[in-house]
């Protein structure tokens, strides 16, 4: 029995390009968002790469969605170049503006259901977090809204299409140790977030051949990415205005403050190099510090 193709959805975020020469500032030192170039964020790129892995390995259908203003097109083109995606979705509407993570998750939930010709996705992939927001909440909240199990910090995975499950490896911290690898199995559909260190590997001849073919296809598709682009507004997604944009955002930003500089804990004391008594103290102090210092 032929297995139904795997449907993959990726949610990505357009982020300011913080690389040199691309950032633009207002006179008061804040970020000038209109002037700063936008790119696919590095964490979103990791998610996109995970989708490419599905494309190469399982010949999956891949759809990529983002919520944002119409200028997000370029980031989607970039995502298509990385992943050879079949569909590019832009969820764009004035009423989405001012959304917090929860209201964003609502839009993305609706977006995922429109993906892959309305079939949705067996795996939804997001990045770890965005480099401008840093909350890391949108992914898990979207998973919660979709009702899918969520696996975070995934570094490697494979899919059992017949058994309809995913086997994933992820980083966790355990008893104070970081980078412990946990292996986990979950049923499909599933939501995973790709660890920033995620890097797919292709270790067989057939995967490498498929890799070359997909890279080629991706280049051709990205050259005409508009052909694959679909723009959805609130109505197109069937969004309930109560749950999206500012009305759907329970977060209240009370006040934004500059983070004060922490006081330095170190104290400087000058010691005369000829004063043997003082030097003796210095030596004793160093020995004491070195013996007491925790071994890392």
Instruction: Determine, following the binding rule CB under 8 A, whether residue 19 of this chain makes contact with other proteins.
Output: no
How far, CA to CA in Å, does 114 sit from each of 90, 105, 189, 235? Answer: 11, 14, 15, 13
CB of 59 to other proteins, least distance (A): 15
283 binds other proteins (CB under 8 A): no
Please report whether residue 212 would count as binding other proteins according to CB under 8 A.
Answer: yes
Peptide bond before residue 158 is cis, with ω within 30 degrees of 0: no
**220 part of the interface to other proteins, by CB under 8 A:** no
Looking at the Cβ atoms of 212 and 282, the one nearer to other proteins is: 212
205 binds other proteins (CB under 8 A): yes
- Give least dist CB 109 to other proteins, A: 39
Angle at 258 between CA 256 and CA 260, to 5 degrees: 140
206 near other proteins (CB under 8 A): yes
* Residue 219 interacting with other proteins (CB under 8 A): no
125 or 218, CB closer to other proteins?
218
In the complex, minimum distance from the CB of residue 216 to other proteins, in angstroms, rounded to a whole number: 9
Size of interface with other proteins, in residues (CB under 8 A)? 8
Spell out, one character per residue from 164 to 203, where the chain touches other proteins: x when CB under 8 A holds, - when not.
---------------------------------------x
Is residue 92 within 8 Å of residue 68, measured between CB atoms?
yes
How is residue 77 written in tokens? 């083109």
- For position 213 contacting other proteins by CB under 8 A, the verdict is yes
Do residues 95 and 245 touch, judged by C-beta distance below 8 A?
yes
Single residue of 94, 164, 208, 242 touching other proteins by CB under 8 A = 208
Q: In angstroms, give the least distance from the CB of 214 to other proteins.
A: 12
CB of 27 vs other proteins, minimal distance in Å:
25
CB 223 within 8 A of CB 72: no
Choosing from 204, 274, 276, 291, the residue that interacts with other proteins (CB under 8 A) is 204
**Ramachandran region, residue 176 (left: φ > 0; alpha: ψ -120 to 50; beta: rest):** left
Nearer to other proteins, 135 or 206 (CB): 206
Footprint of other proteins on 42-101 (CB under 8 A): none
Instruction: Name the residues that contact other proteins, by CB under 8 A.
Output: 203-206, 208-209, 212-213
């Amino acid at each position: 029995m032929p297995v139904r193709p795997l449907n993959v959805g990726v949610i990505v975020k357009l982020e300011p390009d913080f690389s040199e020469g691309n950032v633009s500032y207002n006179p008061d030192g804040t970020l000038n968002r209109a002037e700063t170039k936008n790119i696919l964020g590095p964490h979103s790129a990791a998610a996109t790469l995970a989708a490419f892995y599905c494309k190469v390995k399982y010949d999956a259908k891949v759809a990529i969605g983002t919520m944002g203003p119409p200028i997000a097109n370029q980031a989607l083109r970039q995502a298509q170049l990385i992943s050879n995606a079949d569909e590019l979705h832009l969820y764009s509407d004035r009423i989405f503006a001012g959304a917090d993570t929860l209201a964003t998750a609502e839009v993305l939930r609706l977006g995922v259901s429109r993906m892959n010709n309305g079939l949705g996705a067996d795996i939804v992939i997001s990045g770890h977090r965005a480099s401008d927001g840093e909350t890391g909440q949108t992914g898990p909240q979207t998973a919660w809204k979709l009702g899918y199990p969520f696996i975070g910090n995934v570094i490697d995975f494979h899919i059992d299409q017949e058994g309809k499950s995913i086997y994933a490896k992820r980083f966790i911290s355990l008893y104070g140790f970081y980078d412990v690898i946990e292996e986990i199995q979950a049923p499909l559909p599933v939501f995973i977030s790709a660890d920033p260190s995620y890097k797919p590997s292709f270790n067989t001849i057939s995967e490498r051949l498929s890799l070359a073919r997909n890279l080629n296809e991706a280049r051709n598709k990205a050259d005409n990415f508009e052909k694959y682009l679909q723009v959805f507004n609130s109505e197109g997604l069937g969004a309930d205005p109560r749950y999206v944009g500012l009305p759907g955002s329970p977060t209240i930003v009370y006040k934004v403050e500059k983070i004060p500089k922490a006081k330095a804990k170190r104290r400087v004391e000058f010691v005369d190099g000829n004063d043997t008594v003082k030097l003796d103290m210095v030596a004793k102090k160093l020995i004491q510090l070195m013996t007491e210092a925790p071994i890392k």
